[in-house]
Chain A
Amino acid sequence: MAIDRATVDHVALLARLALTDEERALFTEQLRHILDYFARLQDLDLGTVEPTVHVRAAADVLREDVPRPSLERAEVLAAAPDQEEGFFKVPPVLEPA
């Protein structure tokens, strides 16, 4: 499995995890080791096997379009790291996604 530092850096960015140099080295090593073990999945003949998305067959679990009470804003904002006048407050977000 080709796990190198560059891959680890890319994945860490996708996952929004700032890694230290030690972590970068450690994870590169550990992930490589783990994925080598996982390579055994290649032994299985999986070509035509349906993937399991849900372990139990079920469909159409739907909710009626009836409004229900919302949470009390005060209780929610009390848990927020920073808030201002009823809003969650964060450092400036400069660009649309």
Chain B
Amino acid sequence: MVTEAAVDTVIGLEIHVQLGTASKMFCGCAVAFAAPPNTLICPVCLGLPGALPVVNRRALALGLRTAVALGCRIAPESRFHRKNYYYPDLPKNYQISQYQYMDHPPLGVDGWLEFTVEGTPRAVRIRRVHLEEDTGKLLHVERGGAVTHSRIDYNRSGVPLMEIVTQPDLRSPAEAREFLIALRALLQYLEVSPVRMEEGMLRVDANLSLRRADGTLGTRTEVKNMNSLRAVERALAFEAARQAEVLGGGGRVVQETRHWDERRQVTFPSRTKEEAQDYRYFPEPDLVPMAVGEAEVARVRETLPELPAQKRARYVSLGLSAYDADLIVRQPRLAAFFEEALAAYPQARVLANWVTGDVAGILNAEGKEIDDVALRPAVLVGLLRLIDVGVISGRIAKDLLPELTLQGGDPAALVAARGLEQISDAADLKQLVELILAANPEPVAEFRRGKEKALVFLVGQVMKETRGRANPELVNRLLRERLRG
């Protein structure tokens, strides 16, 4: 009998990324999300009799850039193959893809991606990176609870896809999620794809098995239809638990494809009888090989943008905590914001605190991305400078931040218009201090008895009276002086 404690989860991922090209993989039709159905089609992507494919140069370049960034060995000559199977969303009833044919590997093999899981560094090996074309979209039409017919839109047919396959190096659903976040960030830094998962630009299939205590690998299942990172984590957690339960009950895991049901939060077996698909791969006769010389690979490597691992290391060397560095690096748009602010405000650690703390907090609360809000790096920098020169307190800055973030504005102007300048003149505060002391005899007595917290309270009262404008250090000092006697 196998107990859950004895098993190790083994996960491999197969990721399809839609490349950010203007036109399709093998034809000149435009790539666009949500265009009216069947308006971005031509003889080639519709698979009409007589049509022929021609490779999109930019798709090759983006695939190459990714493969190089992932440390892959690049095939000096890579070819396309036909993967033959019948399905209504596949107009030719074969997909042009890349397969291993004798000694001809696909675009890139044997790379790796580093990432962190709660601060712990991990690396996952990348088995292969290759190019292929996307299929059309099948939609089911239901009437009265039954599917009456299906509709097909071929706008997506022929869109360039990059397939990235990992070795089964992931050890938990959480890890799978972290890997995907890291991969997504990398793809955004490389500018190979906007990777909007909600638009289907990043699709994930997973293989999962449990390793027994004696080290042998259990049967694996394939899990599909996970349409968000959260779905990936939940689906894999469910599947791991399901397999553990099966094994724990003395049963055997069936090798099958399972689909994630987002509504019911379960995986269920695919109804297709898996007569093992025979794809009858053979080299695509309509396309000549793509040559990628060493010089070009070197050039691509040299012109890579700063990669996440390098960026993270740089941030840490600038004084950021590992946590803050990770948080910023995982979000390329936020990192871009941070970099732009950093150029004007070199106090990296302080800046990072604000970005990962208050700014991120507001974004999370509003459910927005940094690109969706009005806040500009220059504005944040302006705000921080006002603190630095003592015009406002940190408290006031925090209060202003939500408005600046969501609606924009100029910090200095706002401060002036609302009279939020910090009161830093002792003379102005002395009278108020007297008033507060007089109004709060108990806390005064408590402080005199040694309770520090009472002072905090008193400071708070002064701050409240000045609507946060008093310089808190000054108030603190004045109160202490007054109470010393």
Contact = CB atoms under 8 A, between A and B. Distances in A.
A associates with B: yes
Interface of A: 13-14, 16, 51, 53-54, 58-71, 73, 76-77, 84-97
Given A71-B42, A96-B224, A65 B54 contact: no
15 contacts: A14-B280, A62-B55, A63-B23, A63-B56, A65-B23, A67-B22, A67-B28, A68-B23, A68-B29, A84-B149, A85-B151, A86-B36, A87-B151, A90-B150, A92-B148
B131 interface: no
Interface in B235-283: 259, 270-272, 275, 278, 280, 283
B423 interface: no
Contacts of B287: 61
Contact of A61 (B54, B86, B90, B93): B54
A12 to B, nearest CB: 13
Nearest to A86: B37
Contacts of A54: 285, 288-289
A94 B337 CA distance: 46
Contacts, number: 137
A14 B150 contact: no
Contacts of A14: 278, 280
Contacts of A62: 54-57, 60, 290
Interface in B30-77: 30-31, 36-43, 46, 54-60, 77
Interface residues of B, number: 61
B323 interface: no
Contacts of A84: 149, 151
A95 B277 CA distance: 14
Given A67-B29, A87-B37, A97 B289 contact: no
Given A53-B285, A54-B285, A63 B149 contact: no
B140 A93 contact: yes
Contact of A88 (B42, B151, B290): B151
Contact of B55 (A61, A86, A94): A61
Contact of B39 (A53, A59, A70): A70
A94 B271 contact: yes
A95 B36 contact: no
Contacts of A85: 37, 151
A88 B22 contact: no
Nearest to A62: B57
Nearest first, the 4 closest Cβ-Cβ pairs linking A and B are: A68-B28, A87-B151, A65-B58, A67-B30
* Most chain A beta-carbon neighbours within 10 Å: one of B22, B31, B149, B280: B149
Contact of B147 (A58, A87, A92): A92
A92 B140 contact: yes
B469 interface: no
Contact of B270 (A64, A69, A70, A96): A96
A61 B60 CA distance: 11
B287 to A, nearest CB: 8
B106 to A, nearest CB: 15
Given A65-B59, A95-B272, A53 B41 contact: no
Contacts of A66: 22-23, 28
B4 interface: no
Interface in B148-168: 148-154
B140 A76 contact: no
A88 B149 contact: no
A59 B37 contact: no
B54 A63 contact: yes
A49 B153 CA distance: 44
B85 interface: yes
B291 interface: yes
Nearest to B135: A97
A89 B151 contact: yes
A73 B38 contact: yes
A17 to B, nearest CB: 11
Contacts of B361: none
Contacts of A71: 41-43, 46
A93 B272 CA distance: 11
B138 interface: yes
A59 B296 CA distance: 15
* Most chain A beta-carbon neighbours within 10 Å: one of B46, B85, B150: B150
B198 to A, nearest CB: 19
B88 interface: yes
A91 B150 contact: yes
Contacts of A65: 21-23, 56-59
A94 B273 CA distance: 12
A67 to B, nearest CB: 4
B235 to A, nearest CB: 15
Interface string B285-326: 101111100000000000000000000000000000000000
Contacts of A58: 288
B149 A64 contact: no
Contacts of B79: 53
Nearest to A57: B288
Nearest to A67: B30
Contacts of A69: 28
Given A64-B57, A64-B58, 9 more contacts: A16-B93, A65-B23, A68-B23, A68-B29, A68-B42, A88-B154, A89-B149, A89-B151, A91-B149
B77 A63 contact: no
A90 B87 CA distance: 11
Contacts of B149: 84, 89-92
